[in-house]
C-alpha cells in the first residue's frame, strides 16, 4: 500500500503502480498467487522481513499474463467444469436431511475442501506446459473430494471418465512438486494416487461391462 | 449442496455455540464454515454455467444503474476491468449482492474489494440506505498495516484469556511478566462471564483499556493468551486459526500470547429493502415481488449489502443464514417482478445509450485528472478518521469533525492526480471512482451515527437530555429504549423488528432536498446536542474501571446515563 502511494522506478523516477490481484489477504480467495524470489506462493503470506532483499516478483508463468503480476487463471476453472466438481442437486423441492456421514470421513474431506484454486500446484508442475493439456493437481484432488461425498458420488463415473480423457490423470509425471507448493497443505499426491487406483478399477469395469 | 459439516459420532450434523447464544444451534464445517459455504455456492454456479443457465461476466465492475424516465431500473452499466470497456447491460430486474463496505474504514476483516461502491452508487441514484451507522466491531482481530484478520471467538471459547500488563507501557516479553502483574480485565470486571462476554462488551472494554494507555507496549493491542493450554489440545481444536496467526505474525501462538485488537467486521446497515406480509397469518408472503426489493422499481439487494435481518447487532453465523434466505426469497421475487412489471415496460433504448455515454464521459474525465492530490492518501485518511471516530465510541463533537473532514476529503478528491494513465487493466482509475463512492458512504455512516437518540451496538458518548422533537420513527425508537438497557445487545437484538426501523429519518434518502439534510445534520451535530460525557472521554481511573460492575453490562456508562435510564423505567 505504501508502494502504491508513491510508485517509483529503481532510479527514482515516478511510474504507474504495479497491477496485481488480491482480495482477502488471508489465503482464502487464491487470487494473489505469484512467484516471490522465484518461489510460487501466495503473496499475502509472504512476510517481507523473512524474504531475501531485494524481493523479486514475477507473475505465474503457466497462465496468460493480463498485466504486470495479474494473470488469467480461468483455465483452472474450465478444468473444474470438465471434471464436474460439484454435488448434483435438484433443489426444486425439499429433499429432507442428507445422508449420515462418519466424522472421520468428513475430517479427511475437509482437508481436500481447503483448495483455494490459487494455481501454485500448476505453476510448479513440469507436466503443465505449452505442449500439454494437463489439468494439474488441483482439479484431480477435487474429483477425490466429490467422489467421497455421499451425494457427489452419483457422478463418480463421469468424473473418472473426465480424468481418463485428454489432459487428465495420464499426463501426471509424478514429480510431486504440487504437494510441496500447496499453501493449504492439501495431500495432493495422495489424491492423485487414489484417483489412479479408482480410474484403473473404473477402466476394468468399463472394459468388462460390469 | 456439498458442504460437509462436522458430524456427531452417530453421523448426524453437529452443532456449536456462538457468542450471545445459549444453545448449540449452529452447524459448522471446521473453523471455516463461511468459506466452505462460499465454495459450495461457487461450485453450483459453475454447474449452472455448464448447463447454460447462468452467464458470468467476471472481472467486470458495477458502475451505476440504468434508470428510465419513469425511474424504473432497467439494467446496469459496468466496466470491464481488463479492456476498460464500458457497457450497459439490460435487465428486467437487477439484484445487488455486493457485500459490505469494510474498506470505508481503511482496515477491516473484510476483503479489500469490499468497498461498498455499488451500494453507494445505487444510493446516489435514488436507492435508500438504512441504518448505515450499525457497524459491528469484532473484539479480536490481528492488527496489521494492510488488513485486519479475524481471530475467531472460538479462541476464547476454548479458554483463551485476555490481559494487558498492569504497568502502562511495560516493555517486557509477555511470558516474563508474572501473573500478579497481569491485568485480566474482562475476568475482573465480569466474573460470571469472564472472557466470553458478548462481542460488543468485549470490544468496548478492550478499546477502553487501550485508550487508557494500558495497551501492550502503549500500542492499541491486548494479549489473547492460549499458552496455558496444552499444545496438542490447541492443535486439535483451534489448528486452523492458529495457523493463520502464525503465518501472518510469524510467532507461534502456542508459545507466545497473541496480540489482538477490535476490528471493523460487519455492516448491519445497507440498502433499504422491503418485504410483504401475508394478511392471512401475518408471516412473510413468500410469493410477493416486494421481498428484498429496494425503493427503486426493479432493483433488489441481498446479503450484507441489504439492511435487513440483523437489527442493530449481528449474532455469529447469522449473516450466512441471512444471505442464503435473502437469495431464496429475493430470486423468485425478481422473476415475478420481471414478469408482472418489467415485461410491460416500453423499450428503454434511450436510457441505455444515455447511461453508457454518461459513464464513458465520466471515465474519460477521471483519466485526465492530474491534480496534486494522491488518491491513496485520501483513502488512508478516510479510513483512519472513520476507524477512530465512527466505530466503537462515538463522540458527537468528533462525529461533526469527521463529517467536516469527509467533506474536505471529497473536495480534495476533485484535485486528484492519476499516476497510471494506461487504458488497459488500469486499476487506479477504478479505485478513484470507488473512492468517491466510499466518501459518500462514509458520510452516510457518520451522519447516521449522529442521529438522536443513538441506536444500536456502537455506543455514543452522550450526556443530558436528547432532543425531544422528531417524527414517528424516532418516538417509537425512544419508547423502545425505555425497556431496553442500551448496552445489552442480546435484548436489543430481539427488540428491533425491521418495520420500526424503516419509518424514521434515519433512512438516508438522497432524494430529500439537500437543505433539509443539511439542516438536520447541523442541528444534530453542532448546537443542539450536549458535549460528550467527560467521565468516559477523559482517561478514567483504573480503580473505577476495576470495580466489578453489575452484570447487566452497563459498566462503562457515566452516572448521568444510568440515572436517566432508571428514571425512565
Show the domains of chain B with their CATH numbers.
1-56 (no CATH), 57-127+267-356 (3.50.50.60), 140-266 (3.90.700.10), 358-454+467-568 (1.20.58.100)
Q: Does A1 touch chain B (CB under 8 A)?
A: yes
Region of residue B563 (phi > 0: left; psi between -120 and 50: alpha; otherwise: beta): alpha
Please state which of the four CATH numbers 3.10.20.30, 3.30.470.20, 3.30.1330.10, 3.90.1570.10 is assigned to the domain occupying A19-72: 3.10.20.30
For residue range A121-158, what is the model confidence (pLDDT) as tens digits? 999 999 999 999 999 999 999 999 999 999 999 999 99
pLDDT score recorded for residue B457: 59
Q: Are B227 and B255 spatial neighbours (Cβ–Cβ below 8 Å)?
A: yes
Q: Which CATH number applies to A74-210?
A: 1.10.1060.10
B565 CB within 8 Å of a chain A CB: no
Q: In 3-state terms, what secondary structure has residue B464?
A: coil
Do residue B244 and residue A86 have CB atoms under 8 angstroms apart? no
Nearest one of B476, B534, B480, B473 to B504, comparing CA atoms: B473
CB atoms within 10 A of CB B256: 17
**Do B32 and A16 count as a contact with CB atoms less than 8 A apart?**
no
Peptide bond into A54 cis (omega under 30): yes
Q: Do domains A19-72 and A74-210 have the same CATH topology?
A: no
> Taking the domains of chain A in order of start, what are their residue ranges?
19-72, 74-210
Radius of gyration of chain B (CA): 24
User: What's CA B513's distance to the chain center, in Å?
Assistant: 27
Question: What's the pLDDT at B503?
Answer: 26
Average pLDDT value for residue range A10-21: 91
Residue B499 buriedness (CB in 10 A; 0-12 / 13-18 / 19+): exposed
CA distance B7 to chain A (A): 5
- Measure CA B19 to chain center: 17
User: What is the spatial distance between Cα B28 and Cα B390, in angstroms, rounded to a whole number?
Assistant: 32
Please provide the distance, in angstroms rounded to a whole number, between the alpha carbons at the two ends of chain B.
49
CA distance from start to end of chain A: 60
pLDDT band at A89 (very low <50, low <70, confident <90, very high): confident
Which pLDDT does position B460 carry in this prediction? 57
* Interaxial angle between packed helices B396-413 and B427-449, expressed in degrees from 0 to 180 and rounded to the nearest 10: 150
CA distance B441 to B134: 13
Kindly state whether B60 is in contact with chain A, defined as any CB-CB distance less than 8 angstroms: no
**Chain A neighbours among B 92-151 (CB < 8 Å)?**
111-113, 145-147, 149
In angstroms, what separates the C-alpha of A131 from chain B's closest C-alpha?
26
With beta carbons less than 8 A apart as the criterion, state whether B153 and B316 touch.
Answer: yes
What is the distance between the alpha carbons of residues B293 and B333, in angstroms, rounded to a whole number? 8
Quickly list DSSP for A122-137. Answer: HHT-TTSSTT-----H
Bond from prior residue into A203 cis (ω within 30 degrees of 0): no
> What is the block-wise mean pLDDT of chain B (569 residues), using blocks of 10 residues?
88 79 76 86 95 94 94 95 96 95 95 96 96 93 90 82 93 93 93 82 90 90 95 78 88 94 94 94 91 96 95 84 93 92 80 95 95 95 94 89 97 94 93 97 94 65 37 32 33 30 36 42 41 33 34 34 35
The DSSP result for B174-243, as a single string, is: GGGS-GGGEE-HHHHH-TTTGGG--HHHHHHHHHHHHHTT-SGGGSS-EEEE-TTS-HHHHHHHHHHHHH
DSSP state of A49: G
Whether A5 sits inside 8 A of B376 (CB atoms) is yes
Alpha helices per DSSP H over B308-426 = 318-340, 349-368, 375-389, 396-413
Q: How far apart are CA B258 and CA B149, in angstroms?
A: 12
Beta bridge pairs of residue B277: B284
Is some CB atom of chain B closer than 8 A to the CB atom of A88? Answer: yes
Span B14-54, pLDDT tens digits: 887 766 666 777 888 877 888 899 999 999 999 999 999 99
Contact state of A100 with B419 under an 8 Å Cβ cutoff = no
Q: Which pLDDT value is given to residue B497? A: 30
What are the CA-CA distances from residue B275 to residues B278, B285, B300, B326, B356 (Å)? 10, 8, 11, 10, 32
Amino acid at each position: 500500500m505504501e508502494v502504491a502511494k508513491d510508485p517509483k522506478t529503481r532510479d527514482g523516477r515516478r511510474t504507474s503502480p504495479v497491477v496485481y490481484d488480491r482480495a482477502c489477504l488471508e489465503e482464502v480467495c487464491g487470487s494473489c498467487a505469484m512467484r516471490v524470489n522465484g518461489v510460487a506462493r501466495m503473496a499475502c503470506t509472504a512476510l517481507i522481513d523473512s524474504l531475501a532483499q531485494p524481493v523479486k516478483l514475477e507473475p505465474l508463468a503457466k497462465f496468460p499474463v493480463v498485466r504486470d503480476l495479474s494473470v488469467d487463471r480461468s483455465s483452472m476453472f474450465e478444468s473444474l467444469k470438465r471434471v464436474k466438481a460439484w454435488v448434483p442437486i435438484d433443489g426444486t423441492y425439499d429433499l429432507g436431511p442428507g445422508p449420515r456421514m462418519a466424522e472421520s470421513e468428513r475430517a479427511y474431506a475437509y482437508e481436500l475442501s481447503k483448495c483455494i484454486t490459487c494455481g501454485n500446484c500448476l505453476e510448479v508442475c513440469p507436466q503443465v506446459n505449452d505442449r500439454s493439456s494437463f489439468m494439474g493437481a488441483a482439479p484431480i484432488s477435487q474429483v477425490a473430494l466429490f467422489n467421497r461425498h455421499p451425494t457427489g458420488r452419483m457422478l463418480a463415473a463421469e468424473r473418472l471418465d473426465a480424468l481418463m480423457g485428454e489432459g487428465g490423470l495420464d499426463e501426471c509425471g509424478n514429480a510431486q512438486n504440487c504437494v510441496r507448493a500447496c499453501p493449504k497443505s492439501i495431500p495432493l499426491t495422495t489424491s492423485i494416487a487414489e484417483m489412479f487406483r479408482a480410474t484403473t478399477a473404473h477402466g476394468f469395469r468399463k472394459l468388462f461391462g460390469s | 449442496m456439498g458442504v460437509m459439516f462436522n458430524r456427531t459420532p452417530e453421523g448426524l450434523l453437529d452443532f456449536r455455540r456462538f457468542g450471545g447464544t445459549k444453545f448449540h444451534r449452529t452447524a459448522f464445517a471446521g473453523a471455516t464454515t463461511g468459506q466452505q459455504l462460499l465454495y459450495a455456492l461457487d461450485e453450483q454456479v459453475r454447474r449452472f454455467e455448464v448447463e447454460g443457465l447462468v452467464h458470468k461476466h467476471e472481472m467486470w465492475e458495477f458502475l451505476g444503474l440504468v434508470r428510465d424516465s419513469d425511474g424504473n431500473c432497467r439494467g446496469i452499466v459496468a466496466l470491464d476491468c481488463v479492456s476498460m470497456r464500458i457497457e450497459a447491460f439490460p435487465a428486467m430486474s437487477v439484484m445487488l449482492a455486493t457485500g459490505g463496505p469494510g474498506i470505508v474504514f481503511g482496515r477491516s476483516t473484510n476483503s479489500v474489494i469490499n468497498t461498498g461502491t455499488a451500494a453507494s452508487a445505487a444510493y446516489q441514484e435514488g436507492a435508500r440506505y438504512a441504518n448505515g451507522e450499525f457497524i459491528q466491531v469484532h473484539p479480536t482481530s490481528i492488527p496489521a498495516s494492510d488488513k485486519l484478520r479475524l481471530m475467531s471467538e472460538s479462541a476464547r471459547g476454548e479458554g483463551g484469556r485476555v490481559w494487558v500488563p498492569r504497568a502502562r507501557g511495560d516493555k517486557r516479553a509477555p511470558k516474563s511478566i508474572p501473573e500478579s502483574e497481569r491485568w485480566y480485565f474482562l475476568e475482573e470486571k465480569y466474573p460470571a462471564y469472564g472472557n466470553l462476554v458478548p462481542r460488543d462488551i468485549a470490544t468496548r472494554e478492550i478499546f477502553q483499556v487501550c485508550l487508557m494507555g494500558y495497551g501492550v507496549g502503549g500500542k492499541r493491542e491486548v494479549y489473547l493468551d492460549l499458552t496455558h493450554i496444552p499444545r496438542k489440545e490447541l492443535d486439535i481444536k483451534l489448528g486452523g486459526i492458529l495457523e493463520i496467526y502464525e503465518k501472518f505474525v510469524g510467532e507461534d501462538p502456542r508459545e507466545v500470547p497473541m496480540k489482538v485488537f477490535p476490528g471493523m467486521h460487519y455492516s448491519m446497515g445497507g440498502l433499504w429493502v422491503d418485504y410483504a406480509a401475508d394478511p392471512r397469518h401475518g408471516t412473510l408472503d413468500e410469493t410477493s415481488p416486494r421481498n428484498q426489493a429496494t425503493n427503486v422499481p426493479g432493483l433488489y439487494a441481498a446479503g450484507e449489502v441489504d439492511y435487513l435481518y440483523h437489527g442493530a447487532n449481528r449474532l455469529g453465523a447469522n449473516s450466512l443464514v441471512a444471505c442464503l434466505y435473502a437469495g431464496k426469497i429475493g430470486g423468485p421475487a425478481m422473476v415475478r417482478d420481471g414478469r408482472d412489471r418489467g415485461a410491460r415496460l416500453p423499450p428503454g433504448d434511450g436510457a441505455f445509450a444515455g447511461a453508457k455515454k454518461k459513464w464513458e464521459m465520466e471515465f474519460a474525465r477521471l483519466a485526465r485528472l492530474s491534480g496534486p492530490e494522491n488518491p491513496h492518501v485520501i483513502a488512508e485518511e478516510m479510513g483512519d478518521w472513520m476507524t477512530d471516530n465512527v466505530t466503537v465510541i462515538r463522540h458527537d463533537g468528533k462525529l461533526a469533525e469527521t463529517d467536516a473532514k469527509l467533506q474536505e476529503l471529497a473536495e480534495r478528491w476533485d484535485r486528484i492526480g492519476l499516476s497510471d494513465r494506461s487504458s488497459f487493466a488500469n486499476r487506479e482509475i477504478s479505485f478513484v471512482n470507488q473512492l468517491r463512492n466510499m466518501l459518500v458512504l462514509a458520510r452516510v455512516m457518520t451522519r447516521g451515527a449522529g442521529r438522536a437518540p443513538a441506536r444500536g451496538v456502537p455506543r455514543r458518548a452522550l450526556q443530558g437530555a436528547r432532543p425531544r422533537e422528531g417524527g414517528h420513527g424516532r418516538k417509537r425508537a425512544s419508547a423502545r429504549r425505555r425497556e431496553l438497557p442500551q448496552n445489552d445487545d442480546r435484548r436489543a437484538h430481539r427488540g428491533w423488528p425491521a418495520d420500526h426501523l424503516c419509518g424514521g429519518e434515519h433512512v438516508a434518502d438522497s432524494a430529500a432536498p439537500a437543505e433539509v439534510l443539511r439542516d438536520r445534520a447541523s442541528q444534530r451535530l453542532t448546537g443542539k446536542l450536549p458535549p460528550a460525557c467527560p467521565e468516559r472521554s477523559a482517561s478514567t481511573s483504573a480503580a473505577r474501571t476495576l470495580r466489578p460492575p453489575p452484570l447487566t453490562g452497563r459498566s462503562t456508562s457515566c452516572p448521568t446515563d444510568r440515572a436517566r435510564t432508571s428514571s425512565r423505567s
